[in-house]
Structure 1
Amino acid sequence: MSSAVDTRVEASIAHAAETLFDAQRPEGYWPNRRPTAVLGTAGALAALHIADPERSRDLIDRGARWLRSAQGPDGGWGGTAGATPQLIPTVVAAATLHLLDRDGHRESVRRALDLVRSQGGLEALTDPGMAHMARTFLALAGLEDLTGSRRIPLELLLLPPRLWRGRLSFRVAPFVAMAFIQARHSPPTGLGRLLWRASRQAGLRALAQVERGENQRGGYGGDNWLVAVVCIGLSCAGAPPAAVAEAVGYLRSTVQPDGSWHIMQGLDLIGGSYVARGLADAGYTDDERLVRARQWLRGCQQDQAFPVFDAPPGGWGWEGPRGWPNFLDSANVLSALAPAGEEGGGELRRGLRWLESRQDRTGSWGTFVPDTTLPNDGPCPYVTAQSVEALLDGGASPDDPAVRRALDWLLTHQRPDGGYEALWYRGLTAGTSLALVAFGRAGLAGHPVARRAREALLRGRLADGSWGPGETGTPGDDPSPGTVEETAWALRALLASGMPADDPQVRGAADWILAAQQPDGLWQAGQVCMHIRNFAYYVDGLIVHGLALKALGSYRTALAADRHEGREAR
């Protein structure tokens, strides 16, 4: 084995680990450094303008200045300042500026709407829910008329939850809020008017039930964008002032010093779980600092049911011990806990049982509600593969019924080009990579489906040895520059598929990650996380380090195996 290569990998891992441990809080978690977001800011400004215009005037003025400064040269906005423009952030930001001051922001709004028209207008939004959301914000600003829009059937909530839960899933809160806004701007007629009073009460009860499960009053999913939409909806519905005040209070408490807002406030848990598993794979499983991190993760396991999703206790959400339990975050935490076994009070076993209980009847996993028909929830190849890996990490065998059913689903749901998608990460690299890891872990690396996935992944390799999202044609999925996250996913997948460490494509990926490491020992995060599928992305400041360490740890293990088998890494 080349000692130079080995030394570089060891030094990189040690540098990253010590920097991360230095940043770790005494409680065991890591603070998440991520940029603020266009949707979070625009939504909060619109909500405060409608629900709290006088008291929040200073916040509104400061936020509007930030929003204008984040506009790109072409007139558009991406998920964060400077990101590739996407339709939803551009429409919402333009509508908000027009709502705040149509004369003062006239030029900014004109440039944005010109860009939207040049990209096909709202007709280019293939998701009906997102198209309606965009039209609603334009209507709030007086730029669109909701008359004649497809009516949101709020009376659905008058039925037993088991009849609507799978259809609405995690969109319950925005579904109610959008119905309230629509009714204000385009009042129901006929039978809809007769049912409105009962439907309105059912909607208010649903929002109250969601809010009761949150970590902070007025915070819906810890998501400033969603809080803003709900706040506007409550205002339009003439909801009790206390409910509106709680949403306003949440937004006022989460504004940043520069006048902007994050999309998601509480992403420390998912990022921390990535970091904890990355450090374990890098050789720090028994380090007392990592023990403390696992204690914090175990303490965030939910001990209460979440009725809106019909979820029992035992899962994890991104915010902490309360909030929205979901399968992706839970699988990530379980993988972080698994290297140390059951060192706590049974959290690992309970979590594994919880994850198995949330599997779809078909064998896949979505994200929030099993067997949902909502496309933006599931089933998801990435979440399914991550859940398979979590179960295998927890001691299940490849022949375990839950694992077997998931693998069978993955084997029969490959794209024609060989790749796999992910609901919560852009492009095809993440989903294809995780599917390959699942196949490799289960002894299926030689299966024709796995070979096609590897070929698809290798086709996406860039000339400099890195990976980006691949050629997807989706705004925001810029295929030209690689990211550390996507390159790390790909490197670990290629190794899991059986490629040796001395393969030039494997070595090139590792070299690229090593070269991308910053002087402080960490890596620059890319805009790879989806907030709204294919329509709005964000940057998570922690997962990049966990993914890089997992990949380098796997590479180091493969180098050692090559040495043991007598192969030299060239």
Structure 2
Amino acid sequence: MLIADTLPSTSGAALALDRARDHLIGLRSPQGWWKGELQTNVTMDAEDLLLREFLGIRTPEDTAEAARWIRSQQRADGTWANFHGGPPDLSTTVEAYTALRLAGDPPGAAHMRVTADFVRQAGGIEAARVFTRIWLALFGQWPWDRLPVLPPEMIFLPPWFPLNVYDWACWARQTIVPLTIVSACRPVRPLPFDLAELRTGRPVRRAARQGWEVAFGRLDALLHRYGRHPVKGLRRAALRRATEWIVTRQELDGSWGGIQPPWVYSLIALDLSGYHLDHPVMARGIRGLDRFTIRDDTGRRLEACQSPVWDTALAINALLDAGVSPEHPAVTEGADWLIGQEVRGPGDWAVRRPSLPPGGWAFEFDNDIYPDVDDTAEVILALGRAGRPGTRPAIDRAVRWMTGMASRDGGFAAFDADNTRTLCTKLPFCDFGAVIDPPSADVTAHVVEALAHERPPGHRHTLRRAVTWLLKAQEADGSWFGRWGANHVYGTGAVVPALVAAGVHPRAGCVRRAVAWLEGCQRDDGGWGEDLRSYHDPAWIGRGESTPSQTAWALLALLAAGESSAAVEGGVRWLVEHQRPDGSWDEPYYTGTGFPGAFYINYHLYRLVFPISALGRYLRARTGDAAGTGRGTP
């Protein structure tokens, strides 16, 4: 634990809070919402160029701008990583290199030679993930016979049958269904070059298989044989059903699920199914990508997703923590915008909960098919605290839907209830990212906090079961795993405030263990950080460079636990001393999680909203002033 050399004055923290609050208010859109950039890695940009090449719509301008951005992210060793400061990632590097070849970068150029050397030393294309080799197969750079098979006939499996599409998490099923069409069609649209310099000639490395993995390896061999001679009528019907499934799930903005993977594969699948570029579904899908495109002096890059609902709810809660009046236009207009985003129709979640009335909120601007529990909990909390007239019916509908999404064990997942069958994770296809959506500590904690604030009648049992789930999920070291944020600092920062809000005493053993863990991993500079490598290397748990968001998460937990220790003062001092003149903070490190161990996110608004909440709650605890700064808000 840090023993601070100097402790921050209340006035210094208040000044930092004022600057941050004003900066956040200044980022608000004219419509009342907030949206920070959602930064990922260059696979988004490489695959966008490959998609456009496949569809025949790639332009010199788009190519040059995307290539400039991809080059800017290359490291000195010729590689690309999946997060700032992370280790080289072979598959990301292969895709980035391919995109640069598409842009005209010659293989003999210095920056290309060093990349090719790394790829070969790391095992070549042969060692890349399945998704990367699928992209290469589309262009004849990898044989389809050497890829796992996804038969479109799986679309006919009923929801109770193993390996039906609803056994997959929502983000995975929306990707898997179009890939069954791609797998059946096996298209090849050759590139004007060959990637021989990235091949080693060695066989594909396979991890040791056991149990179901052995059985599925044999099944894959049988499916390869079936794919060469399918039952023609059944295959045609399956392709037609899969195509219809895709079309009915396109969102109003042209996306699928508001996220990149199902979006690009759906466009490819529909193209293979005979949908021309001028078909309304295709045109809307291609046009919608522009909304996710950022252009600036560094080039052209794509967001894998957008988070306006999440960001707006977090911003409202942060402003209220900062002492901003609920009557302030930033709060009222943000709340009004959120009300307009309520999801009132059915979605895939209803497969597991067919009698549950709809409600809640999604993550994105347009994702009515997939509202999620995490956003819904945060919006319930924001609207309940804002007290905006007329919001009660939406809150009640959301509470009913959210509590109805509890899994059998009492915990909550992000998008589906009881999406816990692990059989699909054993398929040869699944070598990248999470493909199921089981309950997690961070989502369950957000539900607990929302229910603790609302105290809706008839839902006390749900609240108790969720609290019990959290208590059972605590790690031996006192922390909680963070599914959607990095990592144990995020999980612990979410769970402790939720437990205390639900009535767990701050001196309870579970809270004391969490406090001890947080204090034990505080850095000497007063901040907290946890490297994303903690998802696969336990040595990194609680360790990493200090970041504003992770420091704030730790402070939120310590403050909820009633701490007024040197650890708290040191964390506040770190935030005060590292604030930028404009009121924000720098945060190059990624603290958001898409797929643990595989795909990560830098939410550009996290560096602002969470420090505001932490500073506001700190000042309230120090001064007893419900308005935080004690001076009101302009």
Q: Same fold (TM over 0.5)?
A: yes
Alignment partners' CA distance in 1, 2:312 and 2:529: 23
1:424 to 484, 507, 511: 484
Alignment of 1:109-508 (within 5 A): 111-112=114-115, 114-115=117-118, 131-140=129-138, 142-161=140-159, 163=161, 164=164, 166-170=166-170, 171-185=172-186, 189-190=225-226, 193-194=230-231, 195-211=234-250, 214-217=251-254, 219-239=255-275, 241=277, 242=279, 243-252=281-290, 254-258=292-296, 259-289=299-329, 290-307=331-348, 310=351, 312-320=357-365, 322-323=367-368, 324-341=370-387, 343-345=389-391, 346-373=393-420, 375=434, 376-396=436-456, 400-444=460-504, 445-469=506-530, 472=534, 474=536, 479-499=543-563, 501=564, 503-508=565-570
Distance 1:179 1:72, change over 3 A: farther
Select between 89-98 and 372-381 the one with higher mean Cα deviation.
89-98
Aligned residues: CA RMSD: 3.4
Aligned-residue offset at 1:505 = 0.6
Bigger mean CA deviation after superposition, 427-436 or 520-529 = 520-529
The equivalent residue for 1:566 is: none
Higher relative contact order (CA 8 A, sep 6+): 2
Moved more, 76-85 or 374-383: 76-85
1:548 Cα offset (Å): 1.0
Distance 1:79 1:229, change over 3 A: farther
Corresponding position of 1:567 = none
Determine if the alignment matches structure 1 residue 94 to structure 2 residue 100: no
Cα distance change of structure 1 residues 13 and 84 upon mapping to structure 2, 3 Å threshold: farther
1:23 to 2:62 alignment: no
Contact 1:51–1:248 (CA under 8 A) maintained in structure 2: no
Q: Equivalent residue for 2:10?
A: 6
Residues 43-85 of structure 1: CA deviation (Å, up to 9, x unaligned): 211100110246x343123322321232122222234788764
Q: Helix, strand or coil for the counterpart of 1:93?
A: helix
Q: 1:238-286: per-residue Cα shift (whole Å, max 9, x none)?
A: 4455244433333356433344232245312211111110111111142
Preserved CA contact (<8 Å) 2:49 2:63: yes
The residue type paired with residue 387 of structure 1 is: V
- Distance in 1 separating the partners of 2:458 and 2:557: 18
Paired with 2:458 and 2:318, the residues of 1 have a C-alpha distance of: 23
Greater Cα shift, 437-446 or 83-92: 83-92
Asked if 2 retains the 8 angstrom alpha-carbon contact of 1:423 and 1:530, the reply is: yes
Question: C-alpha deviations, 1:132-175, integer Å up to 9, x for none?
Answer: 22332343455443424332243221133565354123122210
> Aligned partner of 1:380: which letter?
S
In the alignment, structure 2 segments of 5+ residues that lack a partner are: 1-5, 188-222, 422-433, 627-634
Deviations 1:345-372 (A, max 9, x none): 4222221111111111111111111110
- Displacement of 1:518 in angstroms is 1.2
Q: Which residue of 1 aligns with 2:204?
A: none
Find the partner of 1:534 among 568, 576, 597: 597
Tell me, what secondary structure is at the counterpart of 1:530? strand
Map of 2:194 onto structure 1: none
Q: Is the 8 A contact 2:94 2:119 kept in 1?
A: yes
Residue of structure 1 equivalent to 2:190: none
Find the residue that maps to 2:302 and give its secondary structure. coil
Shift of the alpha carbon at 1:558?
A: 1.8
**More off after superposition, 509-518 vs 258-267:** 258-267
More helix by share: 1
State the identity %: 27
8 Å Cα contact 1:366/1:383 also seen in 2: yes
Matching residue of 2:36? 32
Q: Cα–Cα, structure 1 residues 3 and 250, in superposed 2: closer, same or farther, change >3 Å?
A: closer
CA contact (8 A) 1:173 1:206 kept: no
The size of the alignment, in residue pairs, is 551
